[in-house]
A and B are shown apart, each in its own frame.
Chain A
Amino acid sequence: MPLQEKLAGRLSGKVAVITGAASGIGRATALLFSGEGASIVMVDVNADAGKRVEDEITQSGGQAFFEAIDVTSTADCRRLVERAIREFGCIDILFNNAGIIRRATVLDLPEAEWDRVMDVNVKSIYLLSREVIPHMQKAGGGTIINTASGWGLTGGAKAAVYCASKGAVVLLTKAMAIDHGPQNIRVNCICPGDTDTGMLRDEAQQLGEDSSHFLAESAKRPLGRVGTPEEIAQAALYLASDTSSFVTGAALVVDGGGLAGSI
């Protein structure tokens, strides 16, 4: 993209930290935010894929760096934020998107798996936000977006720990919105429905189902299809930009109508 267009982007001059940025929704968001003029700090456990996204952005003239850190480690989160501040001077946007899924009932779920899902999906948000918020406070504001899920609002079969973790994300979002609204930090979450990512195929595998059959079942919703990572990225852009300046504590459902018939 030519520099001129970059300057006119909806996130020009902003710095965004994105976790789970090597694939799926995180990758699509990194590319979109970069296209809108933001400098991107990318995090993922998958170093090879993360490096490739970094290359993609820098080769198209964007600013980005990737770090293969563990978002469940306090020390890693701290080190990452220090580097982001050193290289880009501030953090305007934090997209807590890293997440994993285990499809099992409580009976079939080992304790270690429970801890792992809760650590990656929930505790990481707490750890990274704790490092980032002081910088946002100093800068006079910021925006935090968390990836929750439709299953953070309603239950699903064989997804006990995932539902527990995503329900926690929705309410952690609201609690943080209340605490940090007065400091002009907006905190919102996205609740995607089934989206065409590696995680969806991973679910089919965990359940021992054929992936094309699983995708066809997932498409059973008012819009008759699963979402694309780019469509979820657009929702993140809305929440990241000044377009949503009066939105905080909200759970933005992006699910092709999947939850229209649920509480």
Chain B
Amino acid sequence: MRLENKVALITGGTSGIGEAVAELFAREGAKVAITGRNESRGHAVTARVLEAGGSAIFLRTDVRKAAECRRAVDETLRSFTRLDILFNNAGVFFPQTALECTEEEWDLQIDINLKGTFLMSKYALTPMIAQGSGVIINNSSGWGLVGGDKAVAYCASKGGVVLLTKAMAIDHGRQGIRANCICPGDVDTPMLPEDARLRGLDWKTYLAGCENRPLGRIGTVDEIAKAVLFLASDDSSFMTGTALVVDGGGTAD
């Protein structure tokens, strides 16, 4: 097991990539604390981990709020005594141009995707620095590296996540902290059909567009979870400040 005796805190752990990471990390021996805003989905994930013999807690958290982020870190430490891995994964996406995006929608995407990453890292870094080691993995996007259509706030937030990752890597490398991000391409999560619906596109047409990449398919949440596991484990001990692209070749051209 590659994460034995480790404690991981995963935001947005109640569905999609976060849920897959929680279950994979637990199988690899980590104790997992997951956050989210949907209590019943959160408890469903922890129940599955517990059933499989792992340790898990759910912490209802809105990552836009500093006090709630601080509480999530405190509660994780109270339950599991340490914190080794933070996966900042909570994210939202609305397909909009600058003309269509309202100020509230802009704030929501920037605050959850980017400010939430800052707040959670801020509170998680203190115990990590005290123990002399820690790993932060941020969920960015291929659209944190290149632009996309109708995605102004999302691109801005994810581009911000890539550079926040690099800045934190520089500041805290000497304290034994590694900070990296993943940049997934289109992945089989609830976010994808929701995007198709909001864009008013028929699912088949939309999916065909997503599959138009060198590997000819979209990714699975397990494939993204394995990239996160690589960055969370000692296998990546010399990696920090990087953006790991996991997109079936979608940004190769």
Q: Given contacts A248-B214, A261-B166, is CB(A223)–CB(B173) below 8 Å? A: yes
B224 contacts the other chain (CB 8 A): yes
CB-defined contacts of B185 to chain A, threshold 8 Å: 246
Partner of A246, one of B170, B219, B241: B219
Contact between chains at B248 and A246 (CB < 8 Å)? yes
CB-defined contacts of B79 to chain A, threshold 8 Å: none
Q: Which of A238-263 contact B (CB under 8 A)?
A: 238, 243-257, 259-261
CB-defined contacts of A261 to chain B, threshold 8 Å: 166, 170, 241
Contact between chains at B170 and A252 (CB < 8 Å)? no
CB-defined contacts of A232 to chain B, threshold 8 Å: 238
The number of chain B residues with a CB under 8 A from chain A is 39
Q: Given contacts A244-B227, A254-B238, A257-B241, is CB(A181)–CB(B170) below 8 Å? A: no
Give chain A's interface residue range (CB within 8 Å of chain B).
Answer: 35 or more
Q: Which of B198-253 contact A (CB under 8 A)?
A: 213-216, 219-220, 223-224, 226-227, 229-230, 235-249, 251-253
Contact between chains at A249 and B214 (CB < 8 Å)? yes
Contact between chains at A250 and B239 (CB < 8 Å)? no
B174 contacts the other chain (CB 8 A): yes
Report the minimum CB–CB distance from A150 to chain B (whole Å): 11
Partner of B237, one of A184, A224, A234: A234
Q: Given contacts A178-B253, A249-B251, is CB(A257)–CB(B246) below 8 Å? A: no
Contact between chains at B252 and A177 (CB < 8 Å)? yes
Contact between chains at A245 and B223 (CB < 8 Å)? yes
A231 contacts the other chain (CB 8 A): yes
CB-defined contacts of B215 to chain A, threshold 8 Å: 181-182, 184, 186, 246, 248
Partner of A253, one of B230, B235, B239, B252: B239
Contact between chains at B226 and A244 (CB < 8 Å)? yes
Partner of A181, one of B216, B227, B230, B244: B216
Contact between chains at A256 and B170 (CB < 8 Å)? no
A-B contacts, 18 of them at CB < 8 A, read: A181-B216, A181-B249, A222-B169, A222-B172, A222-B173, A223-B238, A224-B174, A227-B238, A235-B235, A235-B236, A235-B238, A246-B220, A246-B247, A249-B247, A249-B251, A253-B239, A257-B178, A260-B166
Leading 8 A-B pairs by shortest Cβ distance: A181-B214, A222-B173, A260-B241, A249-B252, A231-B238, A246-B223, A246-B219, A257-B240
Question: Other CB < 8 Å A-B pairs besides A243-B227, A252-B244, 6 of them?
Answer: A181-B213, A181-B248, A181-B249, A238-B235, A250-B245, A261-B241
